[in-house]
Amino acid sequence: MARDLLLDETPLVRNCGQLCSAACCQGSDTEGMLLFPGEEELYENCSFGRVLTPGYSIGPFQARLFVCNGTCEREQRPLACRLFPLFPKVRDGAVQVVMDPRARPVCPLCRSGLSGLRGSFVDAVRAASTALVQNRPALAYLEALTDEIWL
Ligand code: SF4
Ligand code: SF4
């Protein structure tokens, strides 16, 4: 559901990857995007990336990191890639869509904040975030990840 809501949405009308040479897709063998609970099984036998277990936990969840080769089909992107550079910050069960602080060193769009992003993208991230917090594991994961990011 949340993944579907973000299937065709992009942060800008134009391809923002041209601004930064797709900086957020230039990971390494050990850097990648954290998968949401339940996403791991979607990436078994994946042709463009693999799932690593980095050995730490996000709350009750063993972290799963998706490491890719830098290109993918839009419909196969992990949820974290679809949300980027935004993040559903969850405190006391309430969700607020904010710029992801982890994006700051990477993404030039962070300078202009939410108001600089395409409105339909921000709306879709808000809708996806609302859908996510209806799901118990996703809510628990987002609460724990919020605590990790905003120590
Ligand atoms: S780093 Fe930011 S501007 Fe660059 S491709 Fe990713 S989301 Fe777009
Ligand atoms: S899965 Fe796709 S969108 Fe996500 S980092 Fe890799 S190439 Fe970029």
pLDDT per position as a tens digit, 16-39: 999 999 999 998 888 899 999 999
Residues in the chain: 151
pLDDT per position as a tens digit, 71-117: 999 999 999 999 999 999 999 989 999 999 999 999 999 999 999 99
Share of the chain above pLDDT 70, in %: 100
Q: Among 81, 106, 110, say which to mutate for ligand 1: greatest number of ligand atoms within 8 Å of CB.
A: 106
Q: Return the beta strands (E) in the chain as ranges.
A: 33-34, 49-52, 57-58, 61-62, 65-68, 86-91, 94-99
**Domain ranges (residues) in the chain:** 2-149
Q: In this structure, which residue's CA is closest to atom 5 in ligand 2? A: 25
Q: In this structure, which residue's CA is closest to atom 2 in ligand 2? A: 72
Residue whose C-alpha is closest to residue 50's, from 37, 38, 32: 32
- Cβ of 16 below 6 Å from ligand 1: yes
Q: How high is the pLDDT of residue 72?
A: 94
